[in-house]
Every structure is written in C-alpha cells, then in structure tokens.
Amino acid sequence: MTTEQQPDWPDVHNVGDIAIQAGFVLGTRTIPDYELVFFPEGTGTWYEVEGDAHLLDEPCVVFTRPDAPHRYRFDPQRSVRHLFVHFDYEPLRNGDPRYAALRTGCDRLTVADSLLPGIVAQMLRIANHQPPHWKRRLAVLLAAALEELCASAESAAAKPADALPLPIARAIAYMDERLAEPLTIEEIARQSGWSHEHFTRTFAAAVGTSPKRALLERRLMRAERLLMAGSMTVKQIAYEVGFRDEHHFSKMYKRIRGHSASDYIRQCQDPLFRHTAHLVDPQTPYPLNCHIVVNGRIK
C-alpha cells in the first residue's frame, strides 16, 4: 500500500475510456477484481452475466464482480464508447453490510439523476493529467462512485413510487394551507371524502408515514423557514405553525429534531440566512431555503 492511500479507500487498478468497433464480441471471461463500466449512450450492446442478458439501450452503468462469467456483444451497427474502472475493495470482499446492494442485483443500472457519470469522467481526466496526489483523488472519487452505485441499486430494488392518489394530494394541500390552525386528522380526512380509518390507512401506505406525523413534520419545516428568517420570536412562530403555546412547540421540536429551536436560531445567524427569498422550483425535490443540521454543527 502506497502512502497515497488510506486503508479504507478502494484500490484502483486501472481506468480507461475506449470506443469499441461495431460488432465486436468480448467473452466469455472472468476477472479477478471488480469492474465499473459507464456507457454514456444507449446502444444495441448486450451484457451477459451468469445466464442473464441485459440490453444497454440507454446510458447506464454495468458492475461486474470478481470471478463472474460474463461477456459483451457490442452493437453490430455502431461503435460503442465505454469508460471503465478496475479496482478492489476490502469492505466489498468482506461482506460489509453497507455494500449489500452491490453483491447481488445490480449488474446493469440506469444513471438518471446520478452523479456516477460525472464522477467516472472526472476520474479519467485526473488519470490522464496525473496532477499531484492523483492516485489518492482517484481512490476518493471511486469511493463516492460506489456510494452512488449503492443508492441507485437500492432505488432500483425498491418498488417504484406511484403518484399520490388525488384524495391524498388534496388532503396534504389542505394541511399546507391551514398549518396555523388547530387541525385534526378527522377534519383532514374529510377533505379526502373517505372515512377516518380508510384515509389514515391509505395515507400511510402512499406517503410512508401517518397523517399525524406528516402534519407535525410540515409544521416543523415551516417553523424552520421562519426561524431562519429571524424576524419572529419563537412564541410567534409557535402560533404561526399551529401549536397551542411556545412550550409545546419547543418540546416537540427538540424531541423530533434533537436540538432546541433556540439552537437552530443561533446556527442561522449568518446574514446569508437572514436574506433568503421565497422561490419555488418544481425540479428540486425538497423545499428551497432549507438548512439541515448534520452532527450538530454548521460551518
């Protein structure tokens, strides 16, 4: 092990960016290490591994494990570019549960909304120019790529999320419009047109949490935007988001967030937070102007 690496980083063996002539067949072969291959374009290429065949007809990543028999049948009509990384990694070899998704079920993954293409391309740029500490940078980037690959594999294994049923969407909109009011779940359920029991059961199945917890979370999220702005007291904010008094709000906030509302205010003292503007971006899957405390500190 060189001084460039740390024990918990992947050991990058080689990288490449190659365009294969149309119609070439590679295989059947096994390799002694792991291989991560990024195909930036969809083609008529087939990847076959241990009896399964995958058509690479959209931008995707192929992940091959050591000693797994596999072959490629490249598109017969056009050249096929692919970027690859060969590596080894002890946590993968030793069954680290963090990487369970990489041991089975992720031979071929699409890369929509993933950082993987950019990470692999950056690895090739670094390897070609070899700036100072380039081997260490490759190892760090590959570790990030594996995290992205795990997340993609876990998402692919999960049941695809369907659009919310219209009665559920209507109930959530009703919550958001009346967060300052003393809402009850019975009142919210009436907006759906369903019974309280059916609404609660269907809401939990569609959203992943109970209506009561969803209402509380939406109140806390709005409270945090007001706390960040710094123009209202905690007492005023408590009433603004539907709590009966400041004590109840502070108690629930600390129970759910793990720190007090006063702590949150102190961590948002930077003028940057005091001058946020209200914007809505439908392409961003979380509220803008959010400030999330990680490990209790902000830099």
Q: Residue 231: give its domain's CATH number.
A: 1.10.10.60
**Residue 151 host element (H or E):** helix 134-157
Distance CA 102, CA 94 (A): 12
- Which residues does residue 108 pair with via DSSP β-bridges, in sequence order? 62
User: Does residue 289 fall inside a structural domain?
Assistant: no
User: Does residue 61 fall inside a structural domain?
Assistant: yes
Distance CA 124, CA 108 (A): 21
**15 and 153 inside one domain:** yes
**200 and 229 inside one domain:** yes
**196 and 223 inside one domain:** yes
Angle at CA of residue 240, ends 237 and 245, nearest 5°: 70
Tokens matching residue 41:
């374009």
User: Does residue 292 fall inside a structural domain?
Assistant: no
CB atoms within 10 A of CB 37: 20
Q: What is the pLDDT of residue 298?
A: 37
User: Does residue 295 fall inside a structural domain?
Assistant: no
**120 and 76 inside one domain:** yes
Helix and strand numbers, DSSP H then E, in the chain:
12, 9
Q: Last residue of a domain, which of 106, 127, 157?
A: 157
**252 and 142 inside one domain:** no
Tell me which residue range forms the domain holding 250: 166-274
Q: In which residue are the tokens 């003393």 written?
A: 182
Q: What is the pLDDT of residue 153?
A: 76
Q: Residue 152's domain is classified under what CATH number?
A: 2.60.120.280
Q: Last residue of a domain, which of 157, 183, 206?
A: 157
User: Does residue 143 fall inside a structural domain?
Assistant: yes
**139 and 253 inside one domain:** no
**225 and 176 inside one domain:** yes
**148 and 194 inside one domain:** no
Taking only the tens of pLDDT, the chain with its 299 residues reads 444 444 589 999 999 999 999 999 998 899 999 999 999 999 999 999 887 888 899 999 999 999 999 999 999 888 999 999 999 999 998 988 888 888 775 678 887 678 888 999 999 999 988 999 999 999 999 999 999 888 877 766 554 445 678 889 889 889 989 999 989 999 999 988 899 999 999 999 988 899 999 999 999 999 998 988 888 899 999 999 999 899 999 999 999 988 899 888 888 887 766 666 666 666 566 666 676 665 554 33
Closest CA to 239 of 257, 222, 254: 222
User: Does residue 87 fall inside a structural domain?
Assistant: yes
Tokens matching residue 55:
């058509």
Q: What is the pLDDT of residue 159?
A: 46
DSSP 199-223: HHHHHHHHHSS-HHHHHHHHHHHHH
**84 and 212 inside one domain:** no
**140 and 266 inside one domain:** no
**256 and 145 inside one domain:** no
**136 and 201 inside one domain:** no
User: Does residue 296 fall inside a structural domain?
Assistant: no
Q: Last residue of a domain, which of 140, 157, 174?
A: 157
User: Does residue 103 fall inside a structural domain?
Assistant: yes
pTM to 2 decimals? 0.59
Angle at CA of residue 115, ends 114 and 120, nearest 5°: 125
Count of domains observed in the chain: 2
Distance CA 234, CA 262 (A): 8
